[in-house]
Chain A
């Protein structure tokens, strides 16, 4: 295997086709005829950022409701079509964008796109279905309240993003979801759903021109007047000192611990250095330095790792661990010590070389399935990375040096100003 062949398997301008339809819908597509299947993924500007505080969970309720009945079909008819051919389609809600993921055999792509179009453009929010859905959402929230990992994450966001929309859970709270009316669902859809900002990636056993033709037929005629612009993000107030909170969930065997801080935005120049640094801190091998100290050396946790979530706004840079309730303080101290070491000493030349090799080597594996390629295409579009991003990727990774990692770590991580959340007994 030559490097040339490895590179040519990566998506790039030579095999990604991109077209913006006259109504604003953007289509990215890449063919893969190795398997008779196809993936359709995408996003649109109707995330939870639009939710009023007292109706938190509204955007999520809407995405959950899109396939519960449309002008053309009932809930049961929609899924009858979809499931009869072994296809799937589902929607999800983010803070900025909501999205969808679908897959089918290539022969059923027209059906998949038609159902996607009907769900996006013509949901009817039938009353009885909405009440069934509400009960399901509320049960989900009751289960969330018992989940140490979910609750630690919610508490952590509450500390780190206090006063900012990022502090709010997209799926809302029982008291807000209870109050959302059917009329509000329909109004949210009318005001926020439209072709502007809608991006689709289609990857699989279909030619680009055919994929675009099918999208045009399904969504090319969609027009919406007065589609609302996303509100501007307020500035984030950074922590002035370490703030910690313990959320009690009685009867549990394990506590979840999250320790972290604010991370870069995806488009920040420091993103790649932060990403490389994070890999060394809590990913590489068996969960990096954090895994080595908390799991391998101390045997305190099955999982202990760090992660970076960098999106359109400031993200988080956090360490997560699941530990015995008796060991929380011990793990906490070990993690804070590692963060201190990380910002004082930075990383070694060997660690840096390992991570660079890891980033470059794993890329083809992350892109082997249609779903992996679709995510990559959407990543390119969302963050304006350029169609040649994955072909330039090796160079971008190799530009990162030890100094960049150290400076980035120091810019974002202050071991005296951390958000610390614990959920458990």
Chain B
């Protein structure tokens, strides 16, 4: 089994990562664009996600009703994701059918039509998608917390966008966004699976190299100013259950502190699972579970960081116990945060976090789609080496590092606390 990957930059700037994996007759092909909600101004929030939807609406060569059937007919699975920093498209296909995916992706890198009637019907589809999100108390709370945490930086708004902008954006807005960001020199292609590297690279060159490079997209440069004092907010809505979200400011994934913080996350809230196509593990012996769930302040607690381009958030989400008040849970949380900032963690806890990460990596490597995912994903915020050396970097973390980052990043003055207050009030 050959698992080394190759990296090539085509003459038009498209970066291509290839990894042969010959365990099953499957290939997963990914195209990643450096465009997400961070590239959106007010009035056009949600535009990157909407463009992603329009990428399924056809080109002259692959009209809409042909496109969605073509992949399915060959037994492929495909999807796309828009995130704050990037937009990604993948097809996982039987190995002998991958050419269709390559042709499709090269075609829609520059030839999507954005027909006005398709834009119109997609407008209401996305509004419906947003309404589905709005049904969820945790979406309501998360949106409010995020917009409070980022007053200046475009991480301010949700990827789905604001309803006001979904109603008013035009076909021209969408098409211009597409043309500005969907460029080979703003993209990374990652292919993993059952192929020969030289043959695959030759085919990718043939299909993608004729697409001309474009002007490097302009980026918004609006760093978030430092926060000087805790901010609290509340959201009211239907239901009988209260939730609290506490967000601390975290560094970018390429920052050296990201690794001790990952260890800290693991022991505070259970390890975050960064795999997109593989489940995580439970967190019932994490410090926060023991302090909050076992002691019946909350019925569940989760924490997680995300790997981002600009500094983002570490979010702790608590579902409050029906007999408790949100303030009581927050006070119990604060005691644990205080403890980790003041007391050194044990070597055993660190070793445990590393073993957990090793297991999650092994689960993620079972599936070829997830391996294709990682090659491109890591490129979006660092590079593939970040992923390949992740366990080594985690293994180098010391108890002193963990305490230092706990002290630095878990400051009460630099957090946002949001509470969801249910209309039915407390049951007890």
Contact = CB atoms under 8 A, between A and B. Distances in A.
Interface in A221-247: none
Contacts of B94: 1, 6, 361, 364-365
B173 interface: no
Given A83-B356, A251-B238, A253-B134, A286 B68 contact: yes
Nearest to B57: A296
The 5 closest A-B pairs by CB, nearest first: A361-B75, A86-B359, A251-B238, A299-B121, A299-B124
A60 to B, nearest CB: 16
Contacts of A90: 282
A16 interface: no
A297 B121 contact: yes
Contacts of A286: 56, 68
A357 B93 CA distance: 12
Nearest to A251: B238
Contacts of A369: 277-278, 366-367
B13 interface: no
Given A1-B25, A79-B285, A365-B26, A358 B128 contact: no
B325 interface: no
B76 A302 contact: no
B92 A254 contact: no
Contacts of B134: 252-254
Nearest to A143: B241
B347 interface: no
Interface of B: 1, 23-26, 56, 64-65, 68-69, 72-77, 92-97, 120-132, 134-135, 137, 194, 237-241, 270-271, 277-286, 290, 293-294, 296, 299-300, 319, 321-323, 352, 355-360, 362-363, 365-369, 423, 427
Contact of B365 (A35, A79, A299): A35
Interface of A: 1, 5-6, 9, 32, 34-37, 75-76, 79-80, 82-88, 90, 103-105, 132, 135-136, 138-139, 142-143, 145-148, 249-254, 284-286, 292, 295-303, 322-324, 354, 357-365, 367-371
A139 B284 contact: no
A251 B235 CA distance: 13
B74 A361 contact: yes
B299 A136 contact: yes
B77 A285 contact: no
Given A32-B366, A357-B75, 6 more contacts: A37-B363, A253-B132, A253-B134, A300-B128, A302-B125, A354-B73
Given A1-B25, A250-B238, A252-B135, A88 B75 contact: no
A111 B356 CA distance: 15
Contact of A370 (B127, B277, B366): B366
A298 B121 contact: yes
A129 to B, nearest CB: 9
B371 to A, nearest CB: 10
A324 B285 CA distance: 42
Nearest to B356: A86
Nearest to B300: A136
Contacts of B294: 76, 132
A119 B269 CA distance: 24
A297 B222 CA distance: 39
Contact of B322 (A142, A251, A299): A142
A364 B26 contact: yes
B24 to A, nearest CB: 5
A254 B281 contact: no
Contacts of A368: 24, 26, 366-369
B212 to A, nearest CB: 31
A213 B282 CA distance: 28
Contact of A285 (B72, B121, B322, B366): B72
A300 B125 CA distance: 6
Which interface residue of B24, B65, B121, B369 has the most chain A CB atoms within 10 A?
B24
Nearest to A38: B362
A37 B135 contact: no
A252 B122 CA distance: 22
